[in-house]
């Protein structure tokens, strides 16, 4: 087993693990890190009332598409409020978690359809009136090409005048990210198998381009010859709304409204966010 992440993708001090034999790199939303992410986020509620307000004007029978539905936190909440939801995610592990959580909710399982796909390549004959991308997930589309591709895909999945709702950190929150100039956190975490782990996370904010690089490591065993563990690296780009409009085709969406919320829990606890609703512009 060997690691495929190079040191430059990792935040110090975890960059010292780049070439350690036996440490395997995996995507953040998979394996042990998916369990950790679900443990951190599955019960978050801070954005749900704004999302429900956006949905209120839609018929309960018209499916809403949730991109990056993960463990089903938002999709299940909407189904519990009577809506029909299609949830899409490219992480099989996150969708398995979603399926398992649904087993305990037989009253809503017929309101939910789960789709395993990358949103960038997903197409559908059905056109949605509302698409949601919650929990600041848009920041994972961390370069202009990825962001542009996301909007092209969303536009292709929306009906004429369909709405796209997503959340971003507000500008004052981005300024406060400078507190993450190279912090390391160590969090005890019991996984779903009942095993106790320590998750090491290293964060580095770059204020020249408002990106936050995150690296994570979990050691799961030490053998005589190798340290066995998992490593992952990902990056958030904290887009401002005006940057988003400058990257997407400017005439393709118009701003409908924004809601203000505050993150509760996790490293971003207390930071302000905006839930943004855009409308697809009909072209003649």
Ligand X SMILES: C[S@@+](CC[C@H](N)C(=O)[O-])C[C@H]1O[C@@H](n2cnc3c(N)ncnc32)[C@H](O)[C@@H]1O
**Least Å from the CB of residue 87 to ligand X:** 8
CA 111, 115, 120, 121 torsion-angle sign? negative
Binding site for ligand X (CB under 6 A): 29, 41, 68-70, 73-74, 88-91, 94, 118-120, 134-135, 137, 140
Among residues 44 and 206, whose Cβ is nearest to ligand X?
44
Q: Could you give the strand order of the β-sheet that contains 272-280, starting from the edge strand earlier in sequence? A: 112-116, 85-89, 64-67, 128-133, 158-169, 272-280, 253-262
Q: Which is nearer to ligand X, 134 or 173 (CB)?
A: 134
CB of 24 to ligand X, least distance (A): 19
Rounded least distance, CB 78 to ligand X, Å: 11
Of 88 and 108, nearer to ligand X (C-beta) is 88
- CB 74, min distance to ligand X, A: 5
Judge contact between 212 and 180, C-beta under 8 A: yes
Select 140 or 247, whichever has its Cβ closest to ligand X. 140
The residue among 1 and 126 lying less far from ligand X, judged by its C-beta, is 126
| Residue 192, token pair as written in the block | 């779903």
Quickly list H helices, 92-215.
92-103, 144-157, 171-176
| Cβ–Cβ < 8 Å for 165, 132 | yes
Shortest Å distance, C-beta 227 to ligand X: 27
Overall residue count recorded for the chain in this entry:
284
């Amino acid at each position: 087993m060997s690691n495929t992440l190079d040191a430059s993708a990792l935040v110090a001090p975890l960059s010292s693990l780049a070439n350690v034999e036996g440490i395997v790199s995996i995507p953040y939303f998979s394996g042990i890190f998916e369990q950790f992410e679900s443990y951190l986020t599955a019960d978050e509620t801070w954005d749900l009332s704004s999302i429900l307000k956006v949905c209120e004007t839609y018929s309960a029978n018209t499916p809403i598409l949730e991109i990056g539905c993960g463990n089903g936190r938002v999709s299940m909440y909407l189904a519990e409020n009577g809506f029909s939801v299609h949830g899409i995610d490219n992480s099989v592990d996150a969708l398995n978690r979603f399926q398992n959580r649904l087993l305990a909710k037989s009253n809503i399982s017929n309101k939910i359809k789960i789709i395993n796909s990358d949103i960038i390549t997903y197409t559908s004959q059905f056109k949605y009136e509302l698409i949601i991308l919650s929990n600041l997930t848009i920041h994972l589309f961390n370069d202009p090409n990825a962001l542009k591709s996301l909007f092209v895909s969303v536009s292709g999945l929306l009906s004429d005048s369909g709405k796209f709702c997503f959340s971003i950190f507000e500008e004052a929150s981005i300024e406060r990210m400078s507190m993450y100039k190279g912090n390391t956190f160590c969090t005890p975490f019991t996984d779903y198998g009942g095993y106790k782990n320590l998750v090491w996370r290293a964060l580095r904010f770059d204020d020249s381009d408002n990106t936050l690089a995150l690296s994570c490591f979990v050691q799961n065993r030490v053998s005589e010859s190798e340290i066995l563990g998992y490593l992952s690296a990902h990056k958030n780009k904290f887009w401002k709304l005006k940057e988003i409009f400058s990257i997407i085709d400017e005439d393709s969406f118009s701003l409908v409204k924004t809601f203000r919320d505050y993150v509760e829990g996790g490293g971003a606890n207390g930071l302000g966010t905006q839930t943004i609703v855009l409308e697809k512009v009909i072209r003649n």
